[in-house]
Copies of this chain bind each other. A is one copy, B any other.
Amino acid sequence: MSERIFNFSAGPGVLPEEVLKQVQQDVLNIFDSGIGILEHSHRGKAYDRVLAETLEDGKKVCNLPDTHKMLFVQGGASSQCFMVPANYLPDGRTADYYKTGKWAMDSIAEAKLYGTVNVCYDGEPGRFKRLPESMSEVKYSDNPAYVHFTSNNTIMGTQWKEEPEIPSGAFLVSDASSDIFSQPIDLSKYGLLYAGAQKNLGPAGTVMVIVREDVLDKQCRELPTMLRYTTHAENESRYNTPPTFGIYLVGQVFKWILRQGGLEAMQKHNKEKAKLIYDAIDASGFYTGHAEKHCRSLMNITFTLSTPELEKKFIKEAEANGLDGMKGHRSVGGARASIYNAMPRAGCEALAQFMQEFERTNG
């Protein structure tokens, strides 16, 4: 078995090595039960403990208000794109969406199946390089049911520095898949937040939903059992067989975050890591950052080089140097370094050093 390399994949992404070592043990035999985590009934004692610890640690991580519930569902954030409007966008009302990239556009497309969408901010003319800097750039509809934003745009490398203000009467919905728990968050501002686990929380196939209890009461149309948030809220996320291993793994990541010092420590760590790479970009005339500086992401750092050939060479040599998954999304091109919570500082140091070296040789 060769050593592990630095994995800059946008998702599924890197997980903490100590968590993976715990998995190695628990997969054969968890809690000394003689049965592995994958094989325990979701109604049995071992999984009762896994779920209880995951929820307890999760609430501790984010200081969850008593007014909110933490749920785990399946289907990826892509299923949340339609579940939110299916549950909460009544016929004849509007929902307001910030169009800030691909995921926002997917959400908008699904919402149109259920009601009227108002795009309150359109980033497309500016090629999604920026988020609104002030509310004067935003046009809300009259009395929207909710306002949806994407807290971090994985592809574009933009990230909100704080939540948008919203009209009274509406509640705030966030797709937080790619920066969840990378920094402190005030969940009392949110009506509903969802995050696919595969970037900052665990494996693909598990979605964390945080929902305010009064939002649960707003379901506006008849829906199949599995598509109602109330089903999952009323059955402690095990109405049916949940993705038990995924929820276990998210729980292990919560424990890891707490051991690191919680979300404040995460934020400090993430800011320092991102600075190493942004400094390498800004100090050069060789790399061009994609996102505008005021909304640069701490999670996904996007940049281009002067020609596609040079970009290809950069990606290839990075890979040869043990820096994997750096290819930018086809809609932006160039390179992308995804440096989620679990990316160690050493990975960012190695990348910054490689960037300087590559510039020296090819600049």
Contacts and interface: CB of A to CB of B under 8 A. Distances in A.
Interface of A: 1-5, 7, 9-15, 17, 20-21, 23-25, 27-29, 32-36, 38-42, 44, 74-79, 81-82, 86, 106, 109-110, 113, 196, 198, 202-206, 222, 224-227, 239-246, 249, 322, 324-325
Contacts of A13: 39
B224 A82 contact: yes
In this complex, the member of A1, A14, A206, A245 whose beta carbon has the largest number of chain B beta carbons within 10 angstroms is A245
Interface class of chain A by DSSP: loop
A226 B78 contact: yes
The 6 closest A-B pairs by CB, nearest first: A205-B243, A5-B34, A82-B224, A78-B240, A74-B74, A9-B41
A227 B224 CA distance: 12
B34 A2 contact: yes
A2 B15 contact: no
Contact of A39 (B9, B24, B33, B245): B9
Contacts of A10: 41
A249 to B, nearest CB: 7
A203 B1 contact: no
A226 B75 contact: yes
B44 A20 contact: no
Tell me the number of copies of this protein: 2
A226 B110 CA distance: 10
Contacts of A44: 9, 325
In this complex, the member of A10, A35, A42, A77 whose beta carbon has the largest number of chain B beta carbons within 10 angstroms is A35
A224 B36 contact: no
A246 B204 CA distance: 9
Nearest to A79: B226
Contacts of A109: 225
A30 to B, nearest CB: 10
Contact of A15 (B24, B38, B81, B198): B38
A7 B28 CA distance: 12
A21 to B, nearest CB: 7
Contact of A34 (B33, B204, B324): B324
Contacts of A226: 75-76, 78-79, 81-82
B24 A38 contact: no
A29 B2 contact: yes
Nearest to A198: B241
Contacts of A24: 24, 27-28
